[in-house]
Amino acid sequence: MNAKQNAHMSVGIDVAKEKVDVAIRFTNGEYEHSLFDNTSEEEIQKLSKWLSEHGISKDTPIVIESTGSYHWLCCIALAEQKFKVHLINPLMTKKYERASIRGSKTDKIDAKRLADIGTIETNLPLFFDSRESLSQKRYLSLIRKLEKTKQQLKRAFDDAVYASESIGVELQVDCISIALKQLEESMNVLKKIITDDASDMAKELATIPGVSLFQATAICTAVSGRTFETKDQLVAFFGLDIRARQSGQWTGREKISKRGNAYYRQILFQLGWSLQRNNDTFHEYYERMYKEQGKHYYTAILATARKFLRYFHAYYLVPCQAD
């Protein structure tokens, strides 16, 4: 192996549905590029072997851009081989693309750009998911899409029925009622699949009055493999941290940041509502926020959810991370 191959700095992998472009960046600024199929685990193993043959150590940063579910196979296969895989938000790649003088964009160039990011950025997020956690996240994603579809269909159905009744005609829409029931049944099946595979932490969390096993499993899935040094980091991860709006003497209305996954926030809102109804401790906190401090109903519910996250961090995550 020549000196150039030993002097690598980082690897960038641009993932598409059927192929991956790989670029190794060397300390002299040169690159080595190759192309692999993204169609099976056997093909990705060829990529792993190619990296090893080129002297890529387990500490060399490998940067991959998040691309829906197309990056899953590559990330999982390389992470299981103990490579240091960093999964980054496409917004970061866009920032570097806009900063480029030519602004060129091809899969090969994107792979080189990702390798460049690996040499510049020092605190890139590590890919940490397992096959099990990715499966759970995919189920949750499907449930969210089914819920949105059901809500949209229900609104359209109710509007059609109202319009027909207002003009004295009858619509034959029993098939829509059947479809709505089937959507509900499908969500229940997926929720059962998720809860049947609940972790011990999720099962323990679900013993708290007001916390369902599905809610507990969803929250534990969201934080699986992550480390939160403070409770505020956990709150911010779910997008429930407060975003201040101030300029000079003007102070605007505070709002939550809404960073991260919107469906997890929806689950936490439902959890906050359930806790204030079924858990004495959280009910008292909600009452103070809503009645004594005069907070809006939604604000008090979200504050209750934040209090739960702080409790979750102190009594579940901190002991687990210490182990």
DSSP secondary structure string for all residues of 47-90: HHHHHHHTT--TTSEEEEE--TTTTHHHHHHHHHTT-EEEEE-H
Query: Does residue 107 fall inside a structural domain?
Result: yes
The conformational region for residue 103 under phi > 0 = left, psi -120 to 50 = alpha, else beta, is left
Q: Say what the pLDDT of residue 117 is.
A: 95
| CA terminus-to-terminus distance, the chain | 41
Query: Does residue 139 fall inside a structural domain?
Result: yes
99 and 187 together in one domain: no
Q: Say what the pLDDT of residue 243 is.
A: 76
E strand or H helix at 306: helix 297-312
Residue 10's DSSP bridge partners are 25
Residue-by-residue pLDDT tens, the chain, 323 positions: 444 444 668 999 999 999 999 999 998 889 999 999 999 999 999 999 999 999 899 899 999 999 888 999 999 999 999 999 999 988 888 888 887 756 567 889 999 999 999 999 988 989 989 899 999 999 999 999 999 999 999 999 999 999 999 999 989 999 999 999 999 999 999 999 999 999 999 999 999 999 999 999 999 999 988 889 999 999 999 999 987 655 555 455 678 888 889 999 999 999 999 999 999 999 999 999 999 899 999 999 999 999 999 999 999 998 776 55
Answer with the one of 120, 141, 171 that is the final residue of a domain.
Answer: 120
Q: How far apart are CA 270 and CA 253, in angstroms?
A: 23
Answer with the one of 73, 97, 120 that is the final residue of a domain.
Answer: 120
Query: Does residue 248 fall inside a structural domain?
Result: yes
Query: Does residue 125 fall inside a structural domain?
Result: no
167 and 206 together in one domain: no
- Specify the pairing of strand 242-243 against strand 246-247: unpaired
Number of domains in the chain: 3
Query: Does residue 126 fall inside a structural domain?
Result: no
Residue 87's DSSP bridge partners are 64
190 and 202 together in one domain: no
80 and 140 together in one domain: no
309 and 253 together in one domain: yes
Q: Say what the pLDDT of residue 8 is.
A: 64
Token pair recorded at residue 86: 């960093």
Residue 246's DSSP bridge partners are 251
Q: Say what the pLDDT of residue 49 is.
A: 94
- Domain holding 75: CATH number? 3.30.420.40
92 and 62 together in one domain: yes
322 and 202 together in one domain: yes
297 and 247 together in one domain: yes
104 and 17 together in one domain: yes
* pTM for this model (two decimals): 0.81
Q: Say what the pLDDT of residue 1 is.
A: 41
- Find the domain containing 289 and state its range: 198-323
E strand or H helix at 112: helix 107-120
81 and 180 together in one domain: no
